[in-house]
Structures are given as C-alpha cells and as structure tokens.
Amino acid sequence: MILLLAAASLTVCADPNNLPFSNRAGQGFENELVSLLAKQMGLRVNYVWWAQRRGYVRNTLTEAKCDIWPGVASGVDGIATTHPYYRSTYVFVTRASDPLAGLTFDDERLRKRTIGVQMIGDNAMNTPPAHSLARRGLTQNVRGYMLYGDYSKPNPPAEIIRAVVKGDIDIAVVWGPLAGYFAARSEVPLRVEPVSPAIDSAQYPMTFQIAMGVRRDNIALRDQLNSLLAQDTSKINALLTSYHIPQL
C-alpha cells in the first residue's frame, strides 16, 4: 500500500535537545533541512518531540505519529530510507595544543592517554569505536560517555566534547557531526580528525551514510523526498558546511 500525506503539513519526529541535529527552538541542521524540504512541498512543519533513546522508531514513526525521521542511517531495518544526503565518520577529538595529530586505533600514543568513547550501554549494541578500543585491550584508560547522557542538561551527547575541553580526557572518539559542531564553538582550540581504519577488522564500520526515514507503507513520500534532496544538493551541502559537519 502507498500512502500520501493527507494534510497540509509534514509531521517530523525529532529530538528537542540534541544539537547540532535538532532542538525545540529549531536551531539544528536537521530542523533547517526539514524546513527547506517542506517549503518545496508547500507544506508547514509540525513536530513530534521525542528523545532519541531506545524504542524511538517503535514509539514514533512505526506508530504513525509522524511522517519522517531525519538523520537515520541509510538502510536501517524496519523503515524505508531515502537516498543519503551526507556521509560522515567517527573522529578523534583532541586539544590542538597536544601532540596528538594523526592518530589511528593502532597508535601507541593511545595507551598513554585517557580516552573518552561514546557508549550505548548494551555491549553487543555499542558504538563501533568502543568495540575497536576493547579489541585492542584499551580498557584501563578508557572512559565511557553515554550517548543519551543527562537529559536535564542541554545537548547531553556533547558532554564528551566538554570533557576534552576541560582536560578530563585527552582524546575523544566521537560521531563526526557532533564533534565538528561543538569543536567549532569551543573556546579551547580542538583538533578533529577522521578515525583510522575506516572499517576495523572487517566488521566495525566507522563511516555511515545518513538519510531520512519514512514508514514502509509510504514509499510515495520517500520518492518525493528523494527528488527534492537531489534538487537541493548544493543548498544541503552549504547547510552542512555551515554547521561544520565532517563530510566524506
């Protein structure tokens, strides 16, 4: 079955406290991207605000509470995804004053420094960098920063970047868009470099293509979004650049 939008609005599921992606004030690049697409479609934007934690898709998109979910990995199970509108990578974030340029996961300097890594909580579902550090025996000097964080604070995933700035850790391994945005706004100069290798041990990819998700019964909407994303490539790239999103 193919469903079309029945109302003059595009209902978007988004996190109200998760810059640079989205927030309730509409200051994220996904907020701006959605507004751009909705304008092209002649629709107004409505939001269903929901913290991006476990059960997010089940409680929002698949229950038909919204039409689209921006910022999803291309090809994710359970939903239909558009063509990707950017591709990014995990990065190493270090203080620019520290002699830590050119790091790789096999760099001996990692064993002498305190490393922060984004964690999900369930080891089997953890972030690829967490697995890469663990398989190298780098656990004694690693500190985990929960991807969900303390939601009472602004943009909780950014705590790992703040830890580098404060000197609590020497190196952070962070999803690129988050790192690029907050590093550009840091009073302490930070270095942001793609992790290496890009695919670790043939099983842990560090780069991902990012798309928009729609319900699997709404292929017509996905196709319309694909057409608009292709038309607006230059505007989208300019938007991502303005937010300092590392792109591959």
Predicted confidence band of residue 183 (pLDDT cuts 50, 70, 90): very high
Q: What pLDDT sits at residue 54?
A: 59
Q: Is the dihedral of CA 24, 238, 157, 11 positive or negative?
A: positive
What tens digit of pLDDT does each residue of 197-223 get? 999 887 889 999 999 999 988 999 999
Domains 9-86+207-242 and 89-205 share a fold: yes
Which sequence spans correspond to the domains of the chain?
9-86+207-242, 89-205
Predicted confidence band of residue 62 (pLDDT cuts 50, 70, 90): low
Q: What pLDDT sits at residue 149?
A: 73
Rounded distance, CA 166 to CA 5, Å?
48
Lowest mean pLDDT among 31-40, 150-159, 179-188, 229-238: 150-159
Q: Is 138 helix (H, G, I), strand (E, B) or coil?
A: coil
C-alpha to C-alpha distances, 178 to 62, 173, 182, 227, nearest whole angstrom: 26, 11, 6, 27
For residue 230, give the H/E element and its range. Answer: helix 219-231
Q: What pLDDT sits at residue 59?
A: 55
- Tokens at 98, concatenated: 């520290």
Rounded distance, CA 55 to CA 102, Å?
37
Q: How many residues does the chain have?
A: 248
For the domain 89-205, what is the CATH code? 3.40.190.10
Rounded distance, CA 36 to CA 228, Å?
9
pLDDT > 70 fraction of the chain, expressed in percent and rounded: 90
* HSE, side-chain direction, 13 A CA sphere, residue 14: 29
Closest of 244, 225, 124 to residue 178, by C-alpha: 244
The CATH H-level (homologous superfamily) assignment of domain 9-86+207-242 is Periplasmic binding protein-like II (3.40.190.10)
Contact (CB, 8 A) for 190 and 160? no
Q: What is the mean pLDDT of residues 103-116?
A: 96
Q: What pLDDT sits at residue 50?
A: 83
Q: What is the mean pLDDT of residues 39-53?
A: 89
Q: Is the pLDDT assigned to residue 55 strictly greater than 90? A: no
Q: What pLDDT sits at residue 3?
A: 44
Predicted confidence band of residue 247 (pLDDT cuts 50, 70, 90): very high
- What are the residue ranges of helices labelled H in 42-126? 56-59
